[in-house]
Amino acid sequence: MTTENTETIAAIASAPGAAGVGVVRVSGPAVPHIAETLLGRAAQPRYAHLAAFRDNGGELIDRGLLLHFPAPASYTGEHVLELQGHGSPVLLDELLRRVCELGARLARPGEFTERAFLNGKLDLAQAEAVADLIAARSRAAARAALQSMEGVFSRRVDSLLQGLIALRVHVEAAIDFPEEEIDFLADPAIERQLQGVRVELVDLLREAQRGLRLNDGLRVAIIGRPNAGKSSLLNALTGSDRAIVNATAGTTRDVLRESLSLDGMALELADTAGLRDTDDEVEREGVRRAHGELQRADVALLVTDAQHAVADLTFFQTLPAGVERLVLINKIDRDQIAAAEERREGVDWMWASAKTGEGLDTLREHLKRLAGAGSGEGAFSARRRHVLALQQVDVHLQDAANELAHGAGELAAEELRQSQQVLGEITGGYSSDDLLGAIFGSFCIGK
Ligand code: GDP
């Protein structure tokens, strides 16, 4: 896929405050002309020329390096020019103005990466990873974004697509020959093939969810009855006093959110109001928001104490599927119990004290693990959009399996067609202009 852009774009591409060096990046057909004018002769490809950048009247703007990357071997796939000067915003502005005078216009946010995508240099998931790499808040997140930028995630999606296409060919062929003696649809090979694709999808979905947590941070909703110690716990973990700790029930009326970094793993903790029925108007609003918070959480951390633990497990009842559950039996200092941990029916239980801090290290370790710590070399970053798409594919594949089991070949084929379309949206095979606008519009200028 290549598109011919007649416009040349330019932007200041260095980070604000970067020590010493400033970069103006230019991409498009006018680059050879701009380079030659600034250098006074044709630039050698990929060679660092020392150049005197001059304005229209021959006045020196700055002295720096000029690099020309001819099309198509460049970031955007077009002619690209990089002008490295001194990091002064005034000089960089002047240099940018000069480049625009010579035939470029100001680039929109993300326009360089958008051109790279349109010229087939990157697929959509890779382009998103560029933005995620720049925005990464932890070393683990940066490493994961780098993996996605290198195409690790995209290759997994492509492999799934290939399997899906092979399956579609099989199913479509089976419905095209209904008059044959043999019932092709009942062929166990089709069933096996479909199961194979589903297994691959479920693996990829799980890893993409982990990639999303690495990228966005783990979302933890702290739930429990009023006075269980939720605010105290939030304060103990974040070391702040933002949550109001109070001995009367029902003080935390709104949802309080805190970001936290545990050994480089990003976490977002939300202290929810106690999820109980209430007559108080303001508190009812808090409870409503707490329910909303749970819909977007990765982990529900139930705070309770030794007396209420069993009764409070009902808090888990309304949780959406896929939310990890942790139970913290708080106030062990008051009840004179030892700190401990135990795994019961897939749920991790911990005994600790938000007041003294005893036992909280175990909680920190669990949170770090859930946030993706130690997820190893191959971990890639992903976005919510990707996870949602994979979940949608999962539903289509389940439906396809059901239709197939009932011999409804046409309906199964339609589910598979939709699976392929949704999957294609991840890497950009099927993306609408709206989607592209939303993705590239969120980049910073110069990328
Ligand atoms: P929330 O309503 O769940 O947010 O509960 P708070 O954090 O406001 O705590 C309610 C009360 O329990 C306060 O008086 C806290 O000081 C007390 N509290 C919280 N955690 C502990 C703990 O681990 N040990 C003891 N002894 N008291 C605690």
* DSSP assignment of 135-202: H--SHHHHHHHHHHHTTHHHHHHHHHHHHHHHHHHHHHHHHH-TTSSS-GGG-HHHHHHHHHHHHHHH
The pLDDT assigned to 2 comes to 46
Please tell me if the domain spanning 133-214+383-428 has the same topology as the one spanning 217-371.
Answer: no
Q: Hey, what are 267's tokens?
A: 């976490």
Q: For residue 352, which atom of ligand 1 is closest to its CA? A: 23
How many angstroms is it from 269 CA to the middle of ligand 1?
A: 17
Extents of the domains making up the chain: 8-110, 133-214+383-428, 217-371
How far apart, in whole angstroms, are the C-alpha atoms of residue 379 and residue 140?
9
133-214+383-428, CATH topology level: Four Helix Bundle (Hemerythrin (Met), subunit A) (1.20.120)
In which residue ranges of the chain is pLDDT below 70? 1-3, 15-19, 177-184, 240-254, 273-290, 375-377, 430-432, 435
β partners of residue 181: none
* Residue whose CB lies within 8 A of the most ligand 1 atoms, among 222, 223, 227, for a mutation test: 227
* Residue whose CB lies within 8 A of the most ligand 1 atoms, among 232, 278, 333, for a mutation test: 232
Instruction: Say how many residues make up the chain.
Output: 447
Q: For residue 330, which atom of ligand 1 is closest to its CA? A: 23
- What is 217-371's CATH superfamily? P-loop containing nucleotide triphosphate hydrolases (3.40.50.300)
Q: Hey, what are 4's tokens?
A: 């011919």
Q: For residue 334, which atom of ligand 1 is closest to its CA? A: 26
Q: Whose CA is nearest to atom 13 of ligand 1?
A: 247
How many angstroms is it from 344 CA to the middle of ligand 1?
A: 25
How far apart, in whole angstroms, are the C-alpha atoms of residue 201 and residue 393?
8
The pLDDT assigned to 258 comes to 82
Q: Whose CA is nearest to atom 10 of ligand 1?
A: 227
How many angstroms is it from 352 CA to the middle of ligand 1?
A: 12
Q: Do 62 and 53 contact (CB within 8 A), yes or no?
A: yes
Q: For residue 303, which atom of ligand 1 is closest to its CA? A: 3
Q: Which of 383, 376, 364 is nearest to 140 (CA)?
A: 376
Q: For residue 353, which atom of ligand 1 is closest to its CA? A: 23
How many angstroms is it from 373 CA to the middle of ligand 1?
A: 29
Residue in the block written with tokens 């708080």: 330
Q: For residue 235, which atom of ligand 1 is closest to its CA? A: 7
Pocket-forming residues, ligand 1, beta carbon under 6 Å: 224, 226-232, 245-247, 251-252, 330-331, 333-334, 353-355
In tens, the pLDDT along 379-436 reads: 899 998 999 999 999 999 999 999 998 888 899 999 999 999 999 999 987 666 776 7
What phi and psi values does residue 119 have, to the nearest 5 degrees? -90, 10
Domain boundaries 8-110, CATH class: alpha beta
